[in-house]
Each structure stands twice: as C-alpha cells, then as structure tokens.
C-alpha cells in the first residue's frame, strides 16, 4: 500500500488517495467470500459450499468487492497516515474507490487534520479582577439569614402582616370555572415572599385565622398559555396565622449556630467566610476572563469533525450527570422543548472555545517543554489514588505514565498563564466609596 495523492482542502481537511496492490486486494476479496458464503444459496450446492467462481458467475465479479473494500480500508488508511506522517481527528470517510483492470484498488479518504496552532502573547495577559470587599451590611445580612433559618414559628391571635406565615385553603376560578392546578389545602404561605401570583399575597395582609375572603389577580404574560393574562378569583380560607420569632442576637445564639462562644467571635468568622468566598469568586472570574482572552489569541483552523467529536463528549457527560440525578436525557429534552440537534447547536460555541483553550495549553506545553521527572509522575499517581480512593498500583494499570506526563505538562501550561497574568485595577468612579468608607 502506498499514497498516490494527498490534497489539502478547506477547514483543515484533506483527501488522501491510497493504492492497494492487486495481491492485497485479492486476499481481502477471498476473506469476504469466506465470510459471506454461508449466506448464499446456489442450486446444486449445500449452503456455504458453493465455489467462489460459481457465485461470481451468477452474481457478478464484484459481488464481494464492497465487503472487501470495507475490510481493507482501515489498514490502507493507517498506512497512508503513517506514510504522510499525519495527525488526524474525528472519523475519516471513504469518498470514492476504484478497482482497476489490473485488480488494484484505489481508495480516496477524506480526513480531518489536527490543527496547527499559532499563539503569541500567552504570558502577561491582563484581565480585570473584582476587588474583595466585605462590608458590615454584608455581615449583618448573612447573620440575619442564619437567624431566619433558626427562627421559631408560632401561631398568633392577630391579623396577618408582611413576614407572617398564613396557612390557607384556596381554589382558583377563571370565568367562574375552577381550573386545573388552582386548588390547595393546608398550604403555608409567607406574606411578602413573592412566591405566589403577583398581587395575591398583598390581599391576605390584615386577614385573621378563620376568615374567608376572595383574592382577585391577573395571571402574568409569562405563564402557562391557557392562563396567561387572564383574570382569576381565588376563594381563600385562612386556617392559621403564624409568626416567626427570631432568636436573640447574643452569645447564646453564637453557641447554637457555630463553634464559637461569643457573638464577636462568630461575627468575625462570618466576615472571614464571606471574604474567602468573595476571593474565590474574584479569582474564578479573573481566570475566566484570562482564559477567554487566551483563546482570542489562538490562530487555528478547527475542522468540523473535531467540534462534532467534542460535542459527542459533552452530550455523553451531560447524559451521565442527568442519570446521577435520576433523569434521562430524553426526558430533559422533552421538558425543555428541544432535541439533540438543537442542543448541539446551542453548545457549539462553547465546544469551539474549549477546543481552542485545549489547543492553547498543548501549544504552550510544547513550546515551554516543561520537564517532568519520574518522581513527579509517582506523586501524581498517588494524588489520583487518594482522590479516587484507589491503590496507586490500580491507577497505574488504568492510566499510562505518558498520559500522566501529558496531564502534568498541560496543568503547568495552565498555571504559567495564570501566574503571569496581570490583574487590572479598576478606576474609582465618581461618587464610589472606598473600601474603608464602605466598611464604615
């Protein structure tokens, strides 16, 4: 087998024409005959015993050619790729084949080539980084949320007000007729929470336990089609009015909700937790912008096959994650009113960006030529073993040392980009308070 022709096409694809000599093709035809003869019945012969010449004389000389071509194609493709030293992606396809008078086989493949990457300026990428500021209001708001979670709910003998919880029975009517899903019993509703139809909760303010009333609302436009923008009347019976009793903000509260003995210590810990969370958010946002700007610097022609392959993997991962939550991918699509084609189309831009980012890290790792020692590989094996609760020897059987080395080099490329990135300082806008002023 040898390459007759190699021609590059658009979008980083190429046509690779490989010649299979007559002897090799004849051997493939013979194998096809031996495989297929049991399916062919010839009068005068037991099934599977008809000679090849007899079958060819009846069905034509090329009766076994298609199976023979299919059988010899992978080997011919591999030989052509090795000869031209190509790095391909995706699934190559046969676009044409021809059998000559001398019984040689000419196969023409369409292959997608791994992109060549041009990348400059991957060090010192500038990106904005959110300032980490935790104000007294932030701390108070978080502590108040904890108080809300630890509040006691008790029935009260008074009219309901905002923030109270009313237990209600209700039934909704449109044009005097009850509608599906408009009835409920023993439902707890916090007034002012905004969980019911706009205007519903406000009309229950001032009502008392045992009281019956009518609530008139208009369904919003963004509602189920059969009810959107329609006027409705709900008949409501108030079973009970309950109020939240928040715990006192003192040392006892701190002991109940934390490991600290005093309110001051607890308050300081809340501030530190909020600061750590904001630092993490700021770093994550910074990294996203840095990597986005890195991909903008990548010059590469990405073949469609590479994008499709990445989309296949994304869908596979998404299917697995849904299954972990007890849902099938088809169920999700049905709920969202979409199909696989629409999902792939929506995710295409994300796939292309991720491919560019991966190509950037590969290019940087190749240019920088990071050294990876045997000790580095052993440490990574142990880290993986600890992470997946396995023995290091089990990880070694599952992951090759070359894969580990490649992974370490890519991680070092990622780290290099981030370590050299520059956080841009935002200019203080007129009227904007400084961190100290905001804290005060």
Per DSSP bridges, beta strands 126-128 and 422-424 are parallel
Query: In the predicted model, what is the mean pLDDT of residues 340-346?
Result: 92
Predicted local distance difference test score (pLDDT) of residue 434: 44
Least confident of 251-255, 365-369, 407-411, 436-440: 436-440
Which among 403, 402, 384 has a CA at the least distance from the CA of 394?
Answer: 384
Decide: 282 and 288 in contact? Cβ < 8 Å.
Answer: no
User: Does the structure show a pLDDT above 90 at 333?
Assistant: no
CATH level 3 topology of 268-424: Trigger factor, domain 2 (1.10.3120)
Question: For residue range 60-107, what is the model confidence (pLDDT) as tens digits?
Answer: 888 999 999 999 999 999 999 999 999 999 889 999 999 998 999 999
pLDDT confidence bin for 433, thresholds 50/70/90: low
Angstrom distance (rounded) from CA 385 to CA 381:
6
Predicted local distance difference test score (pLDDT) of residue 426: 58
User: Does the structure show a pLDDT above 90 at 206?
Assistant: yes
CATH superfamily of 2-113: Trigger factor ribosome-binding domain (3.30.70.1050)
Predicted local distance difference test score (pLDDT) of residue 41: 81
C-alpha neighbours within 13 Å on the C-beta side of residue 426: 11
Q: Which two tokens stand for residue 23?
A: 């002897």
Q: What is the percent of the chain where pLDDT is above 70? A: 96
User: Does the structure show a pLDDT above 50 at 436?
Assistant: no
Decide: 198 and 192 in contact? Cβ < 8 Å.
Answer: no
Least confident of 138-147, 206-215, 240-249, 332-341: 332-341
Angstrom distance (rounded) from CA 298 to CA 291:
11
For the chain, give every domain's residue range: 2-113, 152-245, 268-424
Angstrom distance (rounded) from CA 21 to CA 377:
46
Architecture of the 152-245 domain = Roll (3.10)
Angle at CA of residue 346, ends 345 and 352, nearest 5° = 80
Give residues with Cβ within 8 angstroms of 255, minimum separation 6. 261
User: Does the structure show a pLDDT above 80 at 343?
Assistant: yes
Predicted local distance difference test score (pLDDT) of residue 439: 41
152-245 and 268-424 share one CATH topology?
A: no
Over 142-184, what HEC string results? HHHHHHHHCCEEEECCCCCCCCCEEEEEEEEEECCEEEEEEEE
User: Does the structure show a pLDDT above 80 at 431?
Assistant: no
Angstrom distance (rounded) from CA 354 to CA 311:
11
- On average, the pLDDT of the chain sits at 91
pLDDT confidence bin for 435, thresholds 50/70/90: very low
Query: In the predicted model, what is the mean pLDDT of residues 295-319?
Result: 94
Predicted local distance difference test score (pLDDT) of residue 164: 93
């Amino acid at each position: 087998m040898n390459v007759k022709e190699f021609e590059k096409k658009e979008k980083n694809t190429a046509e690779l024409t490989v010649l299979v000599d007559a002897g090799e093709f004849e051997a493939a035809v013979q194998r096809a005959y031996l495989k297929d003869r049991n399916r062919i019945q010839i009068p005068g012969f037991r099934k599977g015993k008809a000679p090849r010449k007899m079958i060819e004389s009846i069905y034509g000389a090329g009766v076994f050619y298609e199976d023979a071509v299919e059988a010899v194609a992978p080997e011919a493709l591999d030989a052509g790729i090795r000869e031209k030293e190509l790095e391909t992606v995706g699934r190559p396809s046969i676009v044409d084949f021809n059998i000559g008078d001398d019984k040689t086989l000419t196969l023409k493949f369409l292959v997608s080539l791994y992109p060549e990457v041009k990348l400059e300026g991957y060090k010192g990428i500038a990106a904005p980084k959110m300032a980490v500021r935790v104000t007294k209001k932030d701390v108070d708001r978080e502590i108040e949320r904890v108080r809300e979670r630890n509040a006691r709910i008790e029935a009260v003998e008074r009219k309901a007000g905002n923030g109270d919880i009313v237990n209600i029975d209700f039934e909704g009517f449109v044009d005097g007729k009850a509608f599906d899903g408009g009835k409920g019993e023993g439902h707890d509703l916090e007034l002012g929470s905004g969980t019911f139809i706009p205007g519903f909760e406000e009309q229950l303010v001032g009502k008392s336990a045992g009281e019956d009333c009518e609530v008139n609302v208009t369904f919003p436009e963004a509602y189920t089609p059969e009810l959107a923008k329609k006027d409705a009347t709900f008949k409501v019976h108030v079973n009970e009015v309950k109020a939240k009793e928040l715990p006192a903000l003192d040392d006892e509260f701190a002991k109940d909700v934390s490991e600290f003995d005093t309110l001051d210590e607890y308050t300081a810990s809340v501030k530190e937790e909020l600061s750590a969370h904001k630092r993490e958010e700021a770093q994550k946002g910074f990294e996203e912008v840095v990597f986005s700007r890195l991909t903008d610097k990548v010059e590469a022609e990405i073949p469609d096959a590479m994008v499709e392959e990445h989309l296949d993997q994304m869908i596979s991962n998404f299917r697995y994650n849904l299954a972990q939550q007890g849902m099938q991918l088809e169920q999700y699509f049905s709920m969202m009113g979409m199909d696989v084609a629409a999902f792939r189309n929506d995710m295409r831009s994300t796939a292309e960006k991720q491919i560019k980012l991966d190509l950037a890290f590969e290019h940087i790792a190749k240019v920088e030529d990071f050294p990876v020692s045997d000790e580095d590989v052993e440490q990574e094996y142990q880290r993986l073993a600890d992470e997946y609760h396995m023995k290091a020897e089990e990880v070694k059987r599952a992951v090759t040392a070359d894969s580990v080395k490649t992974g370490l080099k890519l991680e070092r490329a990622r780290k290099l980009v981030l370590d050299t990135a520059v956080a841009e300082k935002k200019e203080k806008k007129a009227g904007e308070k400084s961190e100290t002023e905001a804290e005060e």
